[in-house]
Amino acid sequence: MSTAKPPRAAGPGRWVLGVAILVVGTLSLAASWERLRVQRDPSHPSASRFTSLIAPSPKRLAERVDRNIKVAVAELEDANLPPADRLAGFEAALREAESLIQRGLEAHPLDADAIAELATLHWELATRKDDPVRRQAVAGMDLAASLAPSVPGVQRRLGSLLLSMGRRDEALQTFRRSLELSPRLAPGIASDLRVQLFPLDELIRTFPPSSELFVALEPWARETGQTAKLTTAVVDHLEDRGIHADEPLIRVCGKLLLGDDNARELHDLLAAVPPLVTVQARAERDRQRSRALMGLGRHEEALAAARSAREQLPQATRYAEFLASTLLELGQFDDAIEEAHRSLSLAATGNDPLTRARLYTLLGRSEEARGEFDRAYDAYARATKLSPDYDPARRNLDRLRSPASAQTQ
């Protein structure tokens, strides 16, 4: 007997949803702006009633709002529920989110981030381009931006709203302002713009250069075959930063150049960089130099650079792991095993299971290369126990289990 899932709401159901959202959105938004107006005016007769309210901190309210919005979306998309139940759950979760935002505004009338959240929420709830709710949402976002001209999160949210409205150039400039205030917002902004199919080279030209931006754009450039444009920008920025170049910038530069088989260019570029300020940057420069030298066939120099990177940050797992990998590649199996054990001891605390699974796999490869198949098997088994979905460990374990492998051992 068929157990097909109920279809998504369609036809009249969508019309009902649109009308319901419009009514709820219009009424609650009007009430929100009125409450905000009252609260910003101490002479208003109702002001004392609002200012006497006690609400949770803005951070806790924001977390609860985010949870309710996620619940609302999940309810609407749950095909296991009847359309009416999905709509009811969606509306209930959004009403709770609105209520939380309004409580926050009553206690903190100049909370620009909450105003921005409310405006964005109502923009998404509006169903028609000429909807008055949309006009009021824009007014609310303008208010939030004016209250917090130097708060990057508010500016970023304004950029997202402008993007939703189709105001492309304004959105880009607002995102630029966000990145000038906080480059750490780059991953989210890059993700938003990629969904909207913005040209990568336009973002490189428009946004202020930063390590965070280039790290966020690198996968995009790689997947779309546009690494040359990004590499040029990264190299220029690295040269401009000079002694102040940081670890992420050097790392993404190496990833781009070596990904395009430009080991010589990477080697020459890093050789020209003056002494760097931070030990993290110096260690990463040595790691990338080692990779470039390996690509050029200069193995002894590559190993020396890998050792230098490890020595500069002896407690950093990634540099011990890199040295172990380099030793394994050069056939120095005993030293590779010793360094792999060192990596595992460094990763004993504070690292996720996938990191330790990767390190056990490295140890297994080193033991296997030395001919210690039982030890290799044990290392691969530990890796798969830590992270069952880690393919390299699982494949190696399956290979050692096979009859053909047993005959060669």
Residue 339: inside a domain: yes
Convert the pLDDT of each residue in 11-35 to its tens digit.
444 433 443 444 344 434 444 444 4
Residue in the structure block whose two tokens are 């051992």:
409
Q: How many other C-beta atoms lie within 10 A of the C-beta of residue 70?
A: 12
Q: Domain count of the chain?
A: 2
Residue 105: inside a domain: yes
Last residue of a domain, one of 93, 119, 148: 148
Confidence (pTM)? 0.66
CATH code for position 367: 1.25.40.10
Q: How far is CA 294 from the centre of its chain?
A: 31
Angle between helices 186-195 and 211-223 (to 10 degrees): 30
Pick the closest to residue 338 from 313, 309, 293, 307 (CA basis): 307
Last residue of a domain, one of 133, 148, 163: 148
Convert the pLDDT of each residue in 296-309 to its tens digit.
999 999 999 999 99
Convert the pLDDT of each residue in 137-146 to its tens digit.
555 555 555 5
Residue 290: inside a domain: no
Domain span at 37? 10-148
- pLDDT over 70, % of the chain: 65
Residue 230: inside a domain: no
Q: And the tokens for 391?
A: 């393919």
CA distance 313 to 307: 10
DSSP 389: T
Residue 252: inside a domain: no
Residue 353: inside a domain: yes
CB 298 within 8 A of CB 313: no
Residue 296: inside a domain: no
Residue 283: inside a domain: no
CB 290 within 8 A of CB 302: yes
Pick the closest to residue 145 from 133, 162, 125 (CA basis): 162
Last residue of a domain, one of 117, 148, 179: 148
Predicted pLDDT at 254: 97
Convert the pLDDT of each residue in 216-235 to its tens digit.
999 999 999 999 999 999 99
CB 39 within 8 A of CB 115: no
Position 81 pLDDT exceeds 60: yes
CB 193 within 8 A of CB 220: no
